C-alpha cells in the first residue's frame, strides 16, 4: 500500500518523489473533473498568490476525490509550478505559436520559477513555496523554432522544461533545480517530516 497519494499527472514529480524514497500512488482526476479549470488566473493576480491558490485548490479537489472514491485515508501531496517574468504569469502555451511567443519573452532575461507544494494529513494541511531564478542567454530564433517543433514546450509552464535541450541556453540559475522541475525536494521533505514521514 502506498505511503502517500500524489495528486499529479507529472512523471517528473513521480521521479522526484521516488528520489526521496517515498512510496506513493497517484490520485488523478477522473473524466468528470476539469483539472485545467483550477489553473485559471484571476484578474490582477500576482504570481505568488496564484501558485499558492492553485495548489491549495488542487489539494482540496484531491481530498474530495479521495473521499468520493472511498479510498484509504493517507496523506495527499500536490504541487503547482508557474513561471513569472516580472508580475506577468507565463503559463502553459495553448499552441506552438503561443509557445514561441513565451520563449521569445524569456530569451535574454531572468525569470522566476515558483513552485508551491501542499500536503494534507490527519485533518491538517501545510504549504511551502520554492522560488528560483533562471536567466536565459539570447536564444537565436532558429533555436527557438526548433525547440517548439520538438513539442517539448507543450504542457509546461513557461513553455520549457529545464531537463530538456533548452538547458544549453541557461546562463545562470539560482534556487532549486528540483523546484524548477516541478517538485522542490527540500520543501517537500520538510512537509513530509511535519506529517511524521521519514525521508
- Average pLDDT over every residue of 35-57: 92
In terms of residue numbers, what domain contains 169? 4-194
Instruction: Give domain status of residue 184, yes or no.
Output: yes
Given a cut of 70, whether residue 128 has pLDDT beyond it is: yes
Residues with Cβ within 8 Å of 120's Cβ and at least 6 positions away in sequence, in order, are: 59, 63, 75, 76
pLDDT of residue 2: 61
40 in a domain, yes or no? yes
Residue that is written with C-alpha cell 522566476 in the block: 112
**And the C-alpha cell for 66?**
479521495
Q: What is the pLDDT of residues 79-112, one digit of tens each?
A: 999 999 999 999 999 999 999 999 999 999 999 9
Total of domains in the chain: 1
CATH of the domain at 50: 3.90.950.10
Would residue 183 count as lying in a domain? yes
Answer whether residue 199 is part of any domain.
Answer: no
Say yes or no to pLDDT of 32 above 70.
Answer: yes
Active site residues: 80
Question: Quick check: 180 and 106 in contact, CB under 8 A?
Answer: no
Question: How sure is the predictor about 39, in pLDDT bands with cuts at 50, 70 and 90?
Answer: confident
Amino acid at each position: 500500500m502506498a505511503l502517500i497519494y500524489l495528486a499529479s499527472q507529472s512523471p517528473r514529480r513521480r521521479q522526484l518523489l521516488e528520489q526521496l524514497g517515498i512510496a506513493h500512488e497517484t490520485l488523478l482526476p477522473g473524466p468528470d473533473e476539469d483539472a485545467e479549470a483550477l489553473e485559471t488566473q484571476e484578474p490582477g493576480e500576482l504570481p505568488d498568490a496564484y501558485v499558492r491558490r492553485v495548489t491549495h485548490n488542487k489539494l482540496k479537489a484531491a481530498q474530495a476525490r479521495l473521499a468520493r472514491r472511498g479510498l484509504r485515508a493517507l496523506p495527499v501531496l500536490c504541487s503547482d509550478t508557474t513561471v513569472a517574468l516580472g508580475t506577468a504569469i507565463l503559463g502553459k502555451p495553448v499552441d506552438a505559436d503561443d509557445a514561441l511567443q513565451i520563449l521569445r519573452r524569456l530569451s535574454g532575461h531572468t525569470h522566476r520559477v515558483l513552485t508551491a507544494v501542499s500536503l494534507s494529513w490527519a485533518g491538517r494541511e501545510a504549504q511551502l513555496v520554492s522560488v528560483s531564478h533562471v536567466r536565459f542567454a539570447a536564444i537565436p530564433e532558429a533555436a527557438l523554432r526548433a525547440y517548439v517543433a520538438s513539442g517539448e514546450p507543450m504542457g509546461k509552464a513557461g513553455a520549457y522544461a529545464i531537463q530538456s535541450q533548452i538547458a544549453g541556453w541557461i546562463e545562470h540559475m539560482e534556487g532549486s533545480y528540483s523546484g524548477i522541475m516541478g517538485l522542490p525536494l527540500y520543501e517537500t521533505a520538510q512537509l513530509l517530516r511535519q506529517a511524521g514521514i521519514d525521508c
